[in-house]
Amino acid sequence: MQNKFLTNIFLTFLWVALTGAFYLSNIIFGFVLSYFLLWIIFSRTPNNQYFKFIPKVIAFVFFFLYELIKANFQVAYEVMTPHHNMKPGIIAVPLDVKSDIQITLLANLITLTPGSFSLDVSEDKSVMFVHSMYIKDRESFIAGIKNGFEKRILELNES
Amino acid sequence: MLIAVLSGFIFSLFLVVFGKFFKGRFSLAASILPLSLFIYFCSFLGPISSGEIVSQFHPWVPSFGLNLSFTLDGLSLLFALLITGIGFLVFVYAATYLKEHQYIDRFYGYLGIFMGAMLGLVLSDNLLSLFLFWELTSISSFFLIGFNNTSSESRKSAVLALTITGTGGFLFLAGAVLLGWVSGTFSMTEMLTMREALHGSDFYLLIIFLLMGAAFTKSAQFPFHFWLPGAMKAPTPVSAYLHSATMVKAGIYLLLRFTPILGNHEVWNTTLIIVGGITMFYTAFHTLFRTDLKSILAYSTVAVLGLLVFLTGLGTQYALTAAAVYIVVHALYKAALFLSTGIIDHQTGTRDVTRLSGLRKVMMPVAVAGVLAAISSAGIPPTIGFLGKDLVYEATLGMGDAAIYLTILVLFTNVLILYAGFVAGIRPFSGKLPDNLQKIKMPGPLLWVPPVLLAVLGLLLGIFPALLDAPIVRPVVEAVGGDGAAVQLKLWHGFNTVLALSGLTLGLGFLLYFIIKPSQGKVTAMGRLEAISPKNIALNFGNSFTRFSSAWTGVFQNGFLRNYVVTIVLFLVILVGYSLFSGSEGIVIDWRSLSKLTFYEIAIMSLMFMAVLFIVASRSRLNAVVGMGVLGYAICLLFVIYSAPDLAMTQFSIDTLTVILFVLVLARLPKYLEPSNHARKLRDGVISGSFGLLLALIALEVLQEPVNKEISEFYAENAYVLAQGKNVVNVILVDFRGADTWIEITVLTAAALGVFSLMKLRLKKDERRINE
Amino acid sequence: MELILALLIGVLYASGIYMMLRRSLVKLIVGIILLGNAVNLLIFLLGRITKGEPPIIPGDSDVFLQAYTDPLPQALILTAIVISFGLQSFAIVLVKRAHKMVKADDLDEMNTTDAES
Amino acid sequence: MSLEDYLYFVILPVLAISVILIFIRLLKGPSIPDRVVAVDLLVTIGIGMTAVYSILSGHSTFLDIGLLFGLIGFLGTVAYSSYLEKQKKK
Amino acid sequence: MKTIILRAASNYMLPLLLVFSVFILLRGHYLPGGGFVGGLVAAMAFVLHAFANKLETTKKLFRMHPGFLMPFGLTLALLSGLMPMIIEESSFLTAMWLSEALPAIGAVGTTLFFDIGVYLVVVGVTLTIIFTISESS
Amino acid sequence: MNENIIFYPILVQMAFAILLMFLWMRVEWQKWVSIIGSVLNLVVASSLFAIILREGTTSVQAGGWEAPFGISFVADALGVTMVLLTAIVGLAVSIYSGVSVNRARLKFGYFPILHLLLLGLNGAFLTGDIFNLYVWFEIIIISSFVLLTIGGEKAQLEGAVKYFTLNFLASMIFLTAIAVLYGLTGSLNMADLVAKMAAVENRTLVQVNALLFLIGFGIKSALFPLYFWLPASYHTAPSAVAAIFGGLLTKVGVYAIIRMFTLIFEVDSLIQIVLLSTAVLTFFSGAIGSLVQNNIRKIFSYLIICHIGYMIAGVGMMTQVALAGAIFYLIHDIVVKTNLFLMTGLIYKMKGTHSMRKLGDLYAEYPLLSLLFAIPLFSLVGIPPLSGFWPKLSLIEAGFDTESYWIIGAILFSSLLTLYIVVKFWSEVFWKPGEQLPNIKHFRYFRKLKKRHKWRLVAPVVFLSLISLYIGFGAESVMELSNRISDELMDPQHYIEAVLPST
Amino acid sequence: MIDTLIAILASIGTLFILFAAIGMLRMPDIYLRLAVTTKAATLGVGLLLVSAAIYFNDLSTTTRVFAVILFILLTAPVSAHLIGRAAYIIGNKMWEKTHTDELEGGYEWHSGKYGAPKKPIDQEIEEGED
Ligand code: NA
Ligand code: NA
């Protein structure tokens, strides 16, 4: 119930932002519209708890802009230097995050940050396969992910 | 007269509805119709012989100048009497002849239509209505020839007959329209006054060519004669009625009818003489090689038709009188012969003259009819046939320089006609009755009275020619532009050349009859020459034409889609290319009028070029799809830089959708084969390249033209003011040109329904064969 | 600019027809789509490409103040694009079904309905 | 040099060069996924180009096209990947 | 496709895209957009959902087959054309406007309903085509 | 008079198409709704016809935007005649389909699409805007694609691939022509284009434009050498579909050619040569193609092509008389060709085959129906006074007027071959002793149908035959109509004034 | 001042895009290309969009720009994941210096439906399928 309401508010906000018109009527319209759409979409699906993290995700995105820029300079370096110094490989990273949205968030973060991108998640959601350009030490690579992004996501979940 | 003409049709319609009940006595009762019509037309004998012309006018389709205007003059009356008189006898005769037939109602139905059509034909003053009835006689004749439709011979003959007469019909149509076009009227009475103008017209020769084509096919003139012997597949009453007495004479009627309008012209006369002459001799000669009674009669009929054409061609007073008389003569004796032949056939089950003899012993009245008819056909006095033959010799002898050749030709023909008459009318009855025919029963009077009546009438008119002369022959001759009083009909002309010729004819005829016996051997002998007969040549031509048709159709409709596309594209390139390059303006492109290039345009365009090349050169389906995607996105960017945001959005969405569609079905799509060879690719490349180049050129040319932006400006100026929208493209779509959009979404709906049914509907196996 | 675009349109027409002349069913569809694009661009070009404002009246105005591009060809193309999409999707499905039923990859094998029978 | 000139004569050409480079990858392949990545990237750059173009033209409305590119272009990639996977499964 | 990542992402994108599609639809009269593009975007939203989830799951989002959106849309378009004919006795498809413009949407008139009809038809058409094809392949 | 009546035929068909979509899968309902819709459409079309003939050419502007800015719909005598004919054919096919078309096909949207096709036809005949005409054409062709493929039989699909490709090509050429036209004049309104096209200085481009239209429409009208799609596909569709295709589809192309070349373009010497020579070759190819077929539906398919020649010849000669003949022929041909394909469907129901070699005995088994069938058959040949005869008179006369003797020759030739084909057809199908009926599982032979079902198959044929007879025997009124149409076409001033009152 | 900011942001963005493009060409296998392009292009386009937002400087535009950026941030990694996964499933060859592959056989033991390829089927897909 609460989640739906939050999502609804979020979509209303999005609507108002998109139209750029801060009238009461427009806000009400946006609210009704998104309520209607949500009703259409989720009235038939039992699982509707996805939406409670949305605001946090927005905050998260800004947090990772820094990581993103860093990653890009690494890429730039790799692309522009004449020789490839990469040691690529695919590593199976065991997962503690469980929900789909958390996994997706983690995967996206990994992809957007230096040298690595998430190739896939095992079907039982226990392992994420990450392709990385530089793998010196498997264990430290895994630890880096688990202590970095995953921990943050779990914290987000708890809050 | 309108009722008279329509009565036959009404009668047929009546039969369609009540046909089931039409058996037995009712079929005999049907003969009341022709009888009353006969009496009706007899009532005109007096007025017509006194020079009157009876007319009626019923407008029908005045826009085409087609009216049911009927005119009764001597010529029409003669034919009307033949049609109804002989019609009456045939109606009576057929009631018994076809008594057992399952579909006797249909038979009478066709007969009714035919009679009506024939009456319409001879009564019409309007050329188009004449044509209309002319075609109806062909059609009803088709149904009658094919009446025994389970026999493939019957069907073939019917088709052949209608094809030949139909050909003539279409020539007639063209001739009629041309004549109407030249003379400004379709009334033949009015055309009589335009004789000079018509003779002087540039189209005179074309007109007579077309009309003669019609007449010759209908009246079975060489080389179109062959359908008539084939038409003998029809029941005998039909042969008697249509194919000797009436319908085949429609061509003669037409020629006679046009003699005062188009006749007396060198080409007219010569053509008729030559065609008639060849026909009469050629077909008369053929009677020597036939054993089937009806076949013999058919050939001799054609010979007489040839003779009639010949006489019309001679065109003199004598000739025209002779023709008039001969029409009567022939109608009487030939119908009698056919009917008696029908009786023989009906009773004995054979028409093979070699197997028939002595029938007089079992069917005396029929023998009387046969013999009387035969002597009339031979021209033995005192039959009317003698009169007719005399007139014919008179006519040929009066032809000056050519007299001798024409006379000899006629002499030989007459000898052969005599032979044919004797074979058909005398041979079956003379001699000893074979054993197998001993038990033959005497037919009922309703069968034998009609031929006897006809034959006796032939004798009667011969004895009292005055009965024929003033009331009938004279008005006929006058109707065809002659002087009716110029020739007197009489039996005795004194001793003269004509009499000598008559004697010679008889002598030679008898000689021939006694020397030459019809035999199967002769039929076979003649069969060897069949290969060069007009019929065979026509059939061969027909077959070759069919083969050609097959080949032509196969060349164009060859089953290969790309050949179809090539043909269409080539047609376009040649035609449009010709127009573009031959135009007086020439190809001028003012480069200054074109806007400058910017580098991002270059980038986008080169992207598009490369994408197209990539698609064309790609050897993998998915690559091609990827290429299409890129091309679409590039077009999208192009729309962006040319300030068409709506287009860019739509193009992009649609392109993505197309990619998705492709991807969804690609696995199920066929492999991307390329079996074409290089030559083929080169050829296709040249064709499609020239197509593309042509369109590029057209585009550049169009860009040179000044542009009118009145409508766009209206949209731009009024989009907000009148239509309350600021995105002009959208305003156009939903308001200014909303109707386009309205239908466009309907198009989409139809496409979606199509996709749905195409994918979801699987006919079950047993539904499949049904194909409905 | 028009010159290049005209040539490009020519190339699109040509390649569309060329692909339609191949024997492969899929190439036929590709050809159809290329041809559709060619025609749309031709309308665009012949409606006179002018670099100007998009045909959208500025927010605070009732009429155009600056040169704008011709909106009519854009509307026509939009309609044409959407219709082509309907036709293309039908064509794709048609080819898929035809391929399955006739069991031919090759257009040249699809010629029984033209045969005399 | 004004901002417009800079965007026009520096930024756009560099973007155009990037497009060409990616197109080369598209042509070269060698595998289908390579081409799919290339297309994906082309769409992404397309968004960038529309952003620049919107500045140049002064019409923020072009940004909406970019928005649409972003939303829908993704779907193309999804479709291609789905196809490749299905191909393999067969 | 069995990928958790895509499934999770698509579940967020569906409402996002739908809101966007309505946005595109309603502002079409003033800025680029309108029924066509809006409808296409909405349809894409469901298509994406169908890619990530099972087709059945996506179809369950609809009470009836999305194909029925087509006659609904066509009816809306037809009625918006007929209304002026019946009420004002003006020509078919003549625009009728409410006297007051609504905020955010702008002037409301029959053309808006017409555009919504277009939107519905486009959604119906696209989904019918895509769903039909995916079901059989 | 309320001009909105011009929209009614379109609105009725649209409303019923939508209603039929809502009734998806409910076949029994659909059958009756379709018939009701068709009857209503006939009523509307006849009133429109009567009104326009009384009041003269009238136009109405969709959306209320004055011409040439909005989309004009124009009802002139030609347009309303075509609409009336469409309504007649539509009603016949609608009644016939309910029994004839198999249930599976009916379930998958046959009726909605049928009405969309009729909608498209009505729209095409009434629109006064060239781009709008394109859109109507598209609804026509997409509906025809669907009707052609519905059921997805092998032969259907094979035919449909060709049908689709070539018709798509035609549409693209049409659209190309529109692009050129717009590029030259900046207008799409046909009445407005008369003056604007005349004002274009570069006449070569005008001619090029005219040729592009001619080829685009030529493909749709199945002219030589553009007709290939027709014999490849028409015989593969259900008879009811083939009937409406045979009657109306090619005629839309002819209609468009007539419209374009009387209004916007002129028949200059090059175009005249093109029209007349394609007419001759169309006569020829169609006739001889028909000659060598065995499948009775293919026979008539080729005859469709053959007889298009009459109308194109009429347009090519472009005199009042010629055009009147072409119009008369158009009227006659629509009714007769539809009827013939309905008839072939009935024959199939009776005998279970389309092969002329295998058919036979019809006359013995169904004498009255055979006589009924004789009406369209002999009307087709133009046995006077049946309907096919009259227009030939005009066309031959026009041939003499314009000294196009080869056209007369071609008309005679094609008439003769048509006669031969029909007569052979009659002899083979009706007279010949037939083969044993093929034993088809679940196939309901005509004999075994319920009486009311029989009637629903026969009634449309009777209906159309009566109309044919009327055209033949009441030729005067049809000719008056044709002359009126021809006069209007030759002098487009009324049309222009109706659309653009200011000029 | 704002113009300069815009120019700088646009330049950086464009540069990253250029890097991504060069990366596309230079990187030895599909996985590395993906790794390179996702990041660079996302950031690059993001910066270009931000510069547009600054340029127009109104709320509606800014929110829309951030909606696009958000969207790209959401979709770009998912795209990379999808293509990478697909490439792996169809057996796209990895660069020779790739030393670890813990996914090898992964699809086999997870779903049991498709096994990891024993030999590269790159060629097969390229030439064989069509
Ligand atoms: Na729009
Ligand atoms: Na004209």
- CATH classification of the domain holding C31: 1.10.287.3510
Please state the rounded mean pLDDT for residues A13-17.
77
pLDDT at A141: 83
- Per the CB < 8 Å rule, is D76 touching B629? yes
Would you say residue G109 has pLDDT above 60? Answer: no
Chain G, 101-130: which have a CB under 8 Å from a chain B CB? 126-127, 129-130
Token readout for B771 is: 């194909």
pLDDT tier, B186 (very low <50, low <70, confident <90, very high otherwise): very high
Q: Does C57 touch chain D (CB under 8 A)?
A: no
Partners of B106 on chain F (C-beta within 8 Å) are: 367
pLDDT tier, E42 (very low <50, low <70, confident <90, very high otherwise): very high
pLDDT at F324: 96
CA of F174 to the centre of ligand 2 (A): 19
DSSP 8-state code for residue E28? G
Q: Does A26 touch chain G (CB under 8 A)?
A: no
Average pLDDT of chain G is 77
CB F166 within 8 A of CB B685: no
Number of domains chain C contains? 1
* Rg of chain D taking only CA atoms, in angstroms: 16
Measured between CB atoms, which of E73, E114, E137 is closest to B664? E137
Would you say residue A152 has pLDDT above 80? Answer: no
Token readout for B641 is: 């830089």
Asked if chain F contacts chain G via 3 or more Cβ pairs within 8 Å, the reply is no
- Per the CB < 8 Å rule, is E2 touching G78? no
- B169 vs D66: CA distance, rounded Å: 74
Sequence-distant (6+) residues with CB within 8 A of B465 are B384, B387, B489, B490, B491
pLDDT tier, F161 (very low <50, low <70, confident <90, very high otherwise): very high
- Per the CB < 8 Å rule, is G44 touching D60? no
Quote the crossing angle between the two packed helices A100-112 and A65-80, to the nearest 10°: 40
pLDDT at C116: 60
pLDDT at G112: 40
Average pLDDT of chain E is 89
Class of residue G112 by CB neighbours under 10 A (exposed 0-12, middle 13-18, buried 19+): exposed
Q: Does G95 touch chain D (CB under 8 A)?
A: no
Per-residue b/e over E8-43, b at no fewer than 16 CB within 10 Å?
bbbbbbbbbbbbbbbbbbbbbbbbbbbbbbbbbbbb
Average pLDDT of chain F is 94
- Per the CB < 8 Å rule, is D18 touching G21? yes
Measured between CB atoms, which of D61, D71, D72 is closest to E32? D61
Token readout for F325 is: 């003949």
C-alpha dist (Å) from residue F203 to B44, B583, B585, F210, G20:
68, 8, 8, 10, 54
Reduced to 3 states (helix: H, G, I; strand: E, B; else coil), residue C27 is: helix
Please state the rounded mean pLDDT for residues G24-29.
87
CB B315 within 8 A of CB B463: no
Provide the percentage of residues in chain F whose pLDDT is more than 90: 88
- C56 vs C43: CA distance, rounded Å: 20
Mutate to test the interface with D, among E2, E17, E127, E133 (most CBs of D within 10 A): E17
Token readout for B44 is: 């005109």
- Per the CB < 8 Å rule, is G71 touching E9? no
Q: Which of C50, C46, C10, C54 is nearest to B595 (CA)?
A: C50
Q: Does G74 touch chain E (CB under 8 A)?
A: yes
Q: Does F169 touch chain C (CB under 8 A)?
A: yes
Chain E partners (3+ C-beta pairs within 8 A): A, B, C, D, F, G
Please state the rounded mean pLDDT for residues B570-581.
95
- Residues F62-79 have pLDDT tens digits of 998 998 999 999 999 999
- F210 vs F193: CA distance, rounded Å: 13
Per-residue b/e over B591-602, b at no fewer than 16 CB within 10 Å?
eeebeeeeebbe
CB B123 within 8 A of CB B53: no
- B489 vs B482: CA distance, rounded Å: 15
* Rg of chain B taking only CA atoms, in angstroms: 38
Chain E, 45-104: which have a CB under 8 Å from a chain D CB? 47-48, 51-52
pLDDT tier, F345 (very low <50, low <70, confident <90, very high otherwise): very high
Chain D: nearest CA to C53, how far in angstroms? 8
Measured between CB atoms, which of F3, F18, F63 is closest to E94? F63
- Residues E43-55 have pLDDT tens digits of 999 999 999 988 8
- Interface predicted TM-score (ipTM) over 0.90: yes
pLDDT at F137: 97
Does domain G2-95 sit in CATH 1.10.287? Answer: yes
Measured between CB atoms, which of E67, E78, E92 is closest to F15? E78
Residue, of F318 and A122, whose pLDDT is higher:
F318
Please state the rounded mean pLDDT for residues D37-45.
91
C-alpha dist (Å) from residue D82 to B538, E1, E137, G87:
68, 6, 13, 11
Question: Which stretch of B233-247, B627-641, C96-110, G21-35 has the lowest confidence by average pLDDT?
Answer: C96-110
Phi and psi based region of residue C48 (left: phi greater than 0; alpha: psi -120 to 50; beta: remaining): left
Could you tell me the residue ranges of all domains in chain D? 3-89
pLDDT at D90: 56
Question: Which stretch of A52-66, B104-118, B499-513, F416-430 has the lowest confidence by average pLDDT?
Answer: A52-66
pLDDT tier, A61 (very low <50, low <70, confident <90, very high otherwise): low
Q: Which of B336, B335, B332, B286 is nearest to B306 (CA)?
A: B286
- Highest average pLDDT, of C102-111, F256-265, G55-64, comes from F256-265
- Per the CB < 8 Å rule, is E19 touching A34? yes
Could you tell me the residue ranges of all domains in chain G? 2-95
pLDDT tier, E96 (very low <50, low <70, confident <90, very high otherwise): confident
Chain C: nearest CA to B560, how far in angstroms? 6
Chain G: nearest CA to E18, how far in angstroms? 14
Chain C: nearest CA to D1, how far in angstroms? 23
C-alpha dist (Å) from residue D29 to D23, D32, D83, G29:
10, 6, 17, 11
Q: Kindly report whether the peptide bond that precedes residue G28 is cis, defined as omega within 30 degrees of 0.
A: no
- Per the CB < 8 Å rule, is E3 touching G82? yes
Class of residue A81 by CB neighbours under 10 A (exposed 0-12, middle 13-18, buried 19+): exposed
Would you say residue F115 has pLDDT above 90? Answer: yes
C-alpha dist (Å) from residue B677 to B263, B672, B683, B688:
68, 15, 10, 16
The 10 Å Cβ neighbour count of residue B759 is 23
Would you say residue A58 has pLDDT above 90? Answer: no
Token readout for C40 is: 């749309």
- Residues B317-331 have pLDDT tens digits of 889 999 999 999 999
CA of E28 to the centre of ligand 1 (A): 5
CA of F490 to the centre of ligand 2 (A): 7
* Rg of chain C taking only CA atoms, in angstroms: 20
Measured between CB atoms, which of E4, E23, E103 is closest to A104? E4
pLDDT tier, C62 (very low <50, low <70, confident <90, very high otherwise): confident
**pTM of the predicted protein model:** 0.93
Residues with CB under 5 A from ligand 2 (ion): F 266
Mutate to test the interface with C, among E133, E134, E135, E137 (most CBs of C within 10 A): E133
Closest chain C CA to residue F290: C116
Residue, of A20 and F21, whose pLDDT is higher:
F21
pLDDT at B42: 93
Q: Which of F300, F259, F261, F305 is nearest to F279 (CA)?
A: F305
Please state the rounded mean pLDDT for residues F103-117.
93
* In F187-226, alpha helices (H): 190-199, 203-221
Would you say residue G122 has pLDDT above 70? Answer: no
Instruction: Map tokens 């580098």 to a residue.
Output: B599
pLDDT at F266: 93
Please state the rounded mean pLDDT for residues B273-289.
92
pLDDT tier, B766 (very low <50, low <70, confident <90, very high otherwise): low
Backbone angles phi, psi at B146, to 5 degrees: -90, 20
Please state the rounded mean pLDDT for residues F303-311.
95
- D54 vs B205: CA distance, rounded Å: 81
Measured between CB atoms, which of G44, G56, G78 is closest to D48? G44
- Helices then strands, each counted (H, E), chain E: 5, 0
Residue, of A49 and B131, whose pLDDT is higher:
B131
Provide the percentage of residues in chain B whose pLDDT is more than 70: 98
Partners of E125 on chain C (C-beta within 8 Å) are: 86
Number of Cβ pairs closer than 8 Å across E and F?
A: 44
pLDDT at A5: 67
Ligand nearest to the CA of F198: 2
Q: Is the dihedral of CA A28, A31, A36, A39 positive or negative?
A: negative
- ∠ CA B442-B443-B447, nearest 5°, is 150
Look at domain B561-714 and name its CATH class: mainly alpha
Would you say residue G45 has pLDDT above 50? Answer: yes
* In B426-519, alpha helices (H): 445-463, 466-468, 474-479, 497-515
Q: Does C101 touch chain B (CB under 8 A)?
A: no
The alpha carbon torsion through B354, B358, B360, B361 (nearest 10 deg) reads -140
- Per the CB < 8 Å rule, is E5 touching A19? no
Token readout for A109 is: 């973060």
Provide the percentage of residues in chain G whose pLDDT is more than 70: 80
pLDDT at B370: 92
The 10 Å Cβ neighbour count of residue F176 is 27
- Per the CB < 8 Å rule, is F132 touching B737? yes
- Per the CB < 8 Å rule, is A26 touching E18? no
- C83 vs B665: CA distance, rounded Å: 20
Chain D: nearest CA to E47, how far in angstroms? 8
Would you say residue G120 has pLDDT above 50? Answer: no
Question: Which stretch of A53-57, A91-95, G25-29 has the lowest confidence by average pLDDT?
Answer: A53-57
Q: What are the residues facing A4 on neighbouring strands?
A: none
Could you tell me the residue ranges of all domains in chain E? 4-136
- F272 vs F406: CA distance, rounded Å: 13
Chain A: nearest CA to E67, how far in angstroms? 16
pLDDT at B693: 96
pLDDT at A44: 58
Q: Which helix (H) or strand (E) is F482 found in, with range?
A: helix F475-490
The 10 Å Cβ neighbour count of residue B73 is 24
pLDDT at A120: 87
Token readout for G119 is: 């030999």
Number of Cβ pairs closer than 8 Å across A and E?
A: 71
Sequence-distant (6+) residues with CB within 8 A of B532 are none
pLDDT at A118: 87
Would you say residue A122 has pLDDT above 60? Answer: yes
Reduced to 3 states (helix: H, G, I; strand: E, B; else coil), residue A129 is: strand
Please state the rounded mean pLDDT for residues E102-131.
89
Chain B partners (3+ C-beta pairs within 8 A): C, D, E, F, G
Instruction: Map tokens 């089937």 to a residue.
Output: B292
Question: Which stretch of B473-477, B606-610, B700-704, C102-106 has the lowest confidence by average pLDDT?
Answer: C102-106
pLDDT tier, F24 (very low <50, low <70, confident <90, very high otherwise): very high
Ligand nearest to the CA of B729: 1
Please state the rounded mean pLDDT for residues C88-98.
91
- Per the CB < 8 Å rule, is G127 touching B619? yes
Sequence-distant (6+) residues with CB within 8 A of F158 are C98, C101, C102, C110, C111, C112, C113, F232, F236
CB B420 within 8 A of CB B296: yes
Please state the rounded mean pLDDT for residues B9-17.
88
DSSP 8-state code for residue B434? P
Would you say residue G33 has pLDDT above 50? Answer: yes
Please state the rounded mean pLDDT for residues F260-268.
95
Residue, of C51 and C57, whose pLDDT is higher:
C57
pLDDT tier, G123 (very low <50, low <70, confident <90, very high otherwise): very low
